[in-house]
């Protein structure tokens, strides 16, 4: 799909579908008012007749308008003016995108982007709009044997700027939005694949494909003998029960100055989490194929940066394995030695994410990173604490946490800070090893982060627990593509 930006004057040309907003209580937005005049009052008559009220996420397609400025008009409800904000703007663009993709329009003029939104500048209005079209257009890579529905006709979206002054910011927004959308799409595709397809070695081949597609990306995929040589006893303890070989995938994106310290992104890549010997309940266990979403978000983020050629160095580190029970699986009470030399008593084999991440965090030190961020579907406790709307962020560097919180807000991919603290760390005490891998139910998201904290001495580190935000359950089960928008925003803001 092609996206172009045009300024005020161009909106006179005829379009296949004009997309305009209407606030609740039937108040026409600025673009709608102008169009209404040119349509001889047609839109205000629709409102007067009570056929459209402007409720948030309401849409009405007015087809067959004959000759004139638009073949169709898509009215989109913007909700009450007093609660008009970034969230309702995004909701409006997303529902508009869904509706126009269902229509027969081949081309559309998006006038929603001319509405002013409190605290959202032209750049973000354009970027969030393009991301929404990406989300709306997404289809899960299903393996249904029935005929695939025919693809949407829409091929071209014209994004309208309110004035000439906004043109260049909007063009940048469109470019960044398209890159984020394609990155999120990769993340969603990988996360949605079943675990018998998306194995650790499959992720390795995807990384190599990324490197082929982008000369700025270099990839190394390490196999188990090398992990053993590196002393990654903690990572390797998780993969003992499965027949699928584990991988450590290292992707270097070099867009910045040679020698400039990179940002390291460490993504949890458990391609299936059965719990291991501490086997999970069967209900909903299929969703543990999403336990590699942290890894998938690293792939998506690097893809977006490479597409943009952003001037920054980023290294993506993905420990990938399956967590399965088996004759040689790690047992509760087993003690393992991490790459850092610290010993861990594995009291619960279902707390496996931290066991693979700790060795990957230690490995990240060789890149002398300016910042290390790990991304993981780490704890059910995080879902209990924050639900599905916000990821958790924990950090040993408050300025880093603040930057991530701000990026999440701006990108519409929010996170919320939770604390670290020695008192939580003390809950990990073990009689037999340096510490245990679990600390009881209470404060589970925090104690998990406090486990990782023991491995990042001297690093600027943040941890994102995306267990609640990575995917949705139920009828629309699937990956959300989060937190790619947050991560790309954070990295772009450092360029």
Residues identified as active-site: 280, 354
| Nearest-angstrom CA–CA distance, 414 and 404 | 9
Is 348 a residue that touches ligand BES (CB under 6 A)?
yes
- Pair of tokens at residue 231: 């002393």
Stretch binding Mn ion (CB under 5 A), from 154-162, 230-238, 349-357, 487-495: 349-357
The site string for ligand BES over 350-369 (x = CB under 6 A, - otherwise) reads xxxx----------------
Q: How far is the CB of 404 from ligand BES (least distance, A)?
A: 20
Taking CB within 5 to 8 Å according to partner kind, which of ligand BES, Zn ion, Mn ion, none is near residue 348? ligand BES
Q: Which residue has the tokens 């007749």?
A: 49
Residue 370 CB neighbours (<10 A): 15
The reply to whether 444 sits near ligand BES by the rule CB under 6 A is yes
Tell the smallest beta-carbon distance from residue 382 to ligand BES (Å). 8
Mask: binding to Mn ion, 82-121, rule CB under 5 A, as x and -? ----------------------------------------
Of 16, 273, 345, 465, the one binding Mn ion by CB under 5 A: 273
Query: Token digits for 207?
Result: 């990384």
Locate all alpha helices (DSSP H) within 104-199, ordered by sequence.
122-137, 167-192
Dihedral sign, Cα of residue 324, residue 297, residue 247, residue 434: negative
Closest by CA to 491, choosing from 319, 364, 308, 362, is 308
Name residue, tokens 């703007």: 89
If one asks whether residue 438 binds ligand BES (CB under 6 A), the answer comes out as yes
Element (H, E) at 235: helix 233-238
Site for Mn ion contains 244 (CB under 5 A): no
- Provide φ and ψ at 181, rounded to 5°: -60, -40
Examine residue 322 and tell whether it contacts Mn ion (CB under 5 A): no
Name beta bridge partners: 323: 273
Of 67-75, 139-147, 211-219, 348-356, the segment contacting ligand BES by CB under 6 A is 348-356
**Of 316 and 353, which has the nearer Cβ to ligand BES?**
353
If binding means CB under 5 A, how many residues of this protein chain bind Zn ion? Answer: 4
CA distances from 468 to 51, 220, 368, 435, 445 (A): 38, 30, 31, 27, 11
Q: Does 430 bind ligand BES (CB under 6 A)?
A: no
**Contact call for residue 346 and ligand BES (CB under 6 A):** no
C-beta of 124: minimal distance to ligand BES in Å? 30
Does 374 sit near ligand BES (CB under 6 A)?
no
Q: What is the DSSP letter of 482?
A: T
């Amino acid at each position: 799909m092609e996206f172009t930006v045009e300024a005020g004057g161009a909106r006179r040309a005829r379009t296949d579908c004009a997309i305009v907003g209407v606030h609740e209580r039937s108040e026409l937005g600025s673009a709608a008012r102008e169009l209404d005049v040119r349509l001889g009052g047609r839109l205000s008559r629709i409102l007067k007749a009570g056929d459209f009220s402007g409720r948030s996420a309401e849409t009405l397609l007015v087809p067959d308008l004959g000759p004139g400025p638009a073949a169709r008009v898509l009215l989109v409800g913007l909700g009450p003016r007093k609660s008009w904000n970034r969230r309702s703007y995004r909701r409006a663009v997303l529902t508009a995108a869904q509706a126009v993709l269902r229509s027969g329009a081949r081309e559309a003029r998006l006038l929603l982007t001319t509405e002013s939104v409190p605290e959202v500048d032209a750049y973000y209005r354009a970027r969030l709009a393009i991301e929404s079209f990406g989300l709306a257009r997404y289809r899960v890579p299903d393996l249904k044997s029935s005929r695939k529905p025919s693809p949407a006709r829409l091929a071209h979206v014209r994004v309208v700027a309110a004035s000439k002054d906004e043109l260049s910011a909007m063009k940048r927004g469109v470019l960044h939005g398209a890159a984020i959308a394609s990155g999120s799409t990769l993340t969603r595709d990988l996360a949605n694949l079943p675990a018998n397809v998306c194995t650790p070695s499959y992720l390795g081949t995807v990384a190599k494909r990324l490197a082929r597609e982008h000369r700025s990306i270099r990839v190394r995929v390490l196999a188990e003998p090398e992990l053993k040589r590196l002393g990654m006893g903690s990572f390797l303890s998780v993969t003992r029960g499965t027949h699928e070989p584990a991988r450590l995938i290292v992707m270097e994106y070099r867009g910045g100055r040679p020698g400039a310290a990179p940002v390291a992104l460490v993504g949890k890549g458990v391609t299936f989490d059965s719990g291991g010997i501490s086997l999970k309940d069967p209900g909903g266990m299929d969703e543990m194929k999403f336990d590699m979403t942290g890894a998938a978000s690293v792939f998506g983020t690097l893809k977006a940066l490479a597409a943009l050629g952003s001037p920054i160095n980023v290294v993506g580190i993905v420990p990938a394995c399956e967590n399965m029970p088996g004759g040689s699986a790690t047992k509760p009470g087993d003690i393992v030695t991490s790459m850092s030399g610290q010993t861990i008593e594995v009291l619960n084999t279902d707390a496996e994410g931290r066991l693979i991440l700790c060795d990957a965090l230690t490995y990240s030190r060789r890149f002398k990173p300016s910042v290390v961020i790990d991304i993981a579907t780490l704890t059910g406790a995080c879902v209990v604490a924050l639900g599905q709307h916000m990821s958790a962020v924990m950090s040993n560097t408050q300025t880093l946490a603040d930057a991530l919180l701000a990026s999440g807000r701006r990108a519409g991919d929010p996170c919320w800070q939770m604390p670290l603290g020695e008192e939580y760390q003390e809950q990990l005490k073990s009689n037999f090893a340096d510490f245990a891998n679990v600390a009881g139910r209470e404060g589970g998201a925090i104690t998990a982060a406090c486990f990782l904290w023991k491995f990042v001495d001297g690093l600027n580190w943040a941890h994102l627990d995306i267990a609640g935000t990575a995917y949705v359950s139920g009828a629309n089960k699937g990956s959300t593509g989060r937190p790619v928008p947050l991560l790309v925003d954070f990295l772009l803001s450092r360029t």
